[in-house]
Structure 1
Amino acid sequence: MYGGLTEFIGGIQAGYNFQAGHLLFGVEGDFGGATFAHPTLPTPTLGSVSQNWIGTIAGRVGLVEDRWLVYGKFGGGWVQSNASLNFPGVTWQGSNTSSGWLAGVGIEYGFKSHWTIKLEYDQIFLGNWTSTTVPPIQLNRDVQMVKFGANYKFQSGLPDTIAPTKTGHSAKPEHSAHPSENEDLAKQSQNPIADLVSVPFQSNTNFNAGPFNRTQEVLNIQPVVPLRLNADWNLISRTIMPVISQPSPFFNSNTNGIGDITQEFFVSPTHPGPLIWGVGPVFTIPSATDPILGQGKVLLGPTAVALVTPGHWVIGVLANNQWSVGGNPLRPSVNQFLVQPFINYNMAHGWYLTSSPIMTANWLAAPGQQWTVPIGGGFGRLFKLGDQPVSASIQGFYNVVRPDGAPTWQLRAFLSLLFPEK
């Protein structure tokens, strides 16, 4: 194999662990969709192998110290691969599902009693795939993966001995039907940098997009994970993975897939004053499964958020700017700005009014084509599905300023799973 490409893989995992003293034994499996291909010849257009999905199952053994776990794992992996060769005298395509051995190492940290994050390196040894051409070509299918993940444990781990005292920013309300506690949880769910694990799903339906006035759909999956740096500072991780149905600019059709993934980190004080704030970096990786779904560039820049919570209100603003610092040299450079003011008014029985328009600017576009400015709002409610706290809302927006061909109307449906400390 000649080199390789680094691309995106995402999926789910489940497992079971048993701890004896400082030793941990467990078994886990995962399944993910892959979006990468690596060349088998110096020019990728002449030959490549692509992975479509990857599944693994492995046993692991580790050493536990306080909230940290260092582990190794060994097991098996299954990969569905496609391969193609196309050069003078040789044309061949193949597809199969193959298995091989898996080995990996990782480190895991329990940042709350029921939550951990982990960083892991795995390699699946699949062996070569020999084409049925003359002459035969050896195609390398081995896969190396660096994984970052978050896990929810159904049984609590160590007690939260370093948890902060309850404040307006980091309070962890217990499950209760008391109106004030419900409002505290609602305010936390509306605070982008609250000390609260949440998994929001934000569906943005954009109407009258492109030359054929089609509908664009963007579902943002954006888990928020707070990490304790020390008694005074938190680090909040916010990931945005878009699943997109994008109208074609040339044909009356849509392309579906995953877009470019954005990662934000905010450093925020655990004991803020009346003004709650956070600052940090934001970057975007070119993970789109089709060129039309992404910009093909690595983006980097600063991000910041500030808010206040007087009375029943949550009022604030989130902003960032990103510049292209790498990626496909054939794609246009990027210099883009995003600002999202948000205002929420919380009422009785979990209901709230909300407005959070997302305004963007493409600084490299022609004059008059740079800004998209929506206005609008809606309502929502905090409630429970069984024992699971959920916040859901719906908003409508009209783009009063927009580039040519941009959508005129947007409908946003929002659902967030909330995981307060028990």
Structure 2
Amino acid sequence: MKKILLSSVAFVGLTISAMAADLPSRAAPAPVMAAAPVFTWTGFYVGVNAGYGWNTNDSNRYYDPILGYYGGNHSDGGFVGGAQAGYNFQMSSFVIGAEADIQYADRGRDNGYYGLGYYGHNSSDDWFGTVRARAGFAFDQALIYATGGFAYGDSNGGWTVGGGLEYAFTGNLSAKIEGLYVNLEGNNRNDIYLGYNAGRSNDEFAVVRAGLNYRFGSY
């Protein structure tokens, strides 16, 4: 009887093992991989910049009716630096935005030029600012753009135009190099002896600067 019972248990065990071997195997589920984040230029940013600015007009030379031309001393240019803030919006590869900046500008020109008649007051401000639109094309983390808008300095207004290249090293940190041409309305030049106005001479200068931006809302 004992042999019969042991034989029956062995037979049942072999049968269960054979049935289990015939069942389809169930592999472990594949791990779920998160999709890689897509870089975007959309978002607000703030930053700082530094560079060089130089005068592009020859308005230091005034015509004196007695002596002829007389030119005052001036320095061609110097350090420019400041801060900026703005916003970008990216649509496919096209990026539009707006930026405002305020700059210290040590261009070193004298405000007054004296001859035997003319007193020329051509402001060369030690600061200026701009409010500009930006538009360009993004190549992944590189952005090429044009920019232009309103410029101001002291009590004078004007306009500016330029362009630049910006590259994002991380999702939030980017660096740029940018060039601007700025044209600010100048002040009157008066003849203090003859009593007439010799007209205005605009303050025109160029700026090349490098900047660093911290961008909010990136991936």
TM-score (ref. length: structure 1): 0.30
Compared CA separation, residues 32 and 128, structure 1 to 2 (3 A): closer
Q: What is the match of residue 99 of structure 1? A: 157
Question: For 1:8-407, what aligned pairs fall within 5 Å after superposition?
Answer: 8-38=79-109, 49-80=123-154, 97-133=155-191, 134=195, 136-137=197-198, 138-156=200-218
Task: Give how far 1:139 is off.
Answer: 3.0
Residues 309-339 of structure 1: CA deviation (Å, up to 9, x unaligned): xxxxxxxxxxxxxxxxxxxxxxxxxxxxxxx
Q: Distance in 1 between matches of 2:128 and 2:121?
A: 21
User: Secondary structure at the residue paired with 1:7?
Assistant: strand
Displacement of 1:126 after TM fit? 2.0
Displacement of 1:156: 2.2
CA distance in 2, matches of 1:76, 1:119: 20
Residue 79 of structure 1 contacts residue 99 of structure 1 at CA under 8 Å; is this kept in 2? Answer: yes
Q: What percent of counterpart residues are identical?
A: 29
Structure 2 CA distance for partners of 1:75 and 1:99, relative to 1, 3 Å = same
Contact 2:122 2:202 in 1 (8 A): no
Aligned residues: 139
Secondary structure at 1:38 match in 2: coil
Separation of aligned partners in 1, 2:152 and 2:134: 18
Give the corresponding residue for 2:76. 5
- In 1, Cα distance between equivalents of 2:196 and 2:106: 29
Structure 2 counterpart of 1:108, one-letter code: E
Contact 1:109–1:118 (8 Å) recurs in 2:
yes
Structure 1: which 5+ runs fail to align? 81-96, 158-422
- In structure 1, what is the Cα distance between the partners aligned to 2:196 and 2:80? 33
Change (3 A) 1:102 1:47: closer
Contact kept, 8 Å, 2:177 with 2:209, in 1: the verdict is: yes
Larger Rg: 2
- Contact map agreement 1:41 1:47 (CA 8 A) in 2: yes
Tell me, in whole angstroms, the C-alpha distance in 1 between the residues paired with 2:190 and 2:121. 14
Residues 49/37 of structure 1: CA separation in 2 closer, same or farther (3 Å cut): farther
Q: What is the CA–CA distance in structure 1 between the aligned matches of 2:140 and 2:75, rounded to whole Å?
A: 38
Task: Give the secondary structure class of the aligned counterpart of 2:125.
Answer: strand
SS in 1 for 2:124: strand
Q: CA deviation at 1:4?
A: 5.5
Provide, for residues 87-125 of structure 1, a one-character-per-residue CA deviation record: whole Å limited to 9, x for no partner. xxxxxxxxxx11111111111111122111111111122
Structure 1 segments of 4+ aligned residues over 4 angstroms from their partners: 39-43
Q: Is the 8 A contact 1:113 1:156 kept in 2?
A: yes
In 2, the alpha carbon distance for the partners of 1:56 and 1:136 equals 29
Distance in 2, Cα, partners of 1:49 & 1:99: 12
Q: Which runs of 5+ in 2 are unaligned?
A: 1-58, 61-73
Q: Deviations over 1:317-362 (max 9, x none)?
A: xxxxxxxxxxxxxxxxxxxxxxxxxxxxxxxxxxxxxxxxxxxxxx
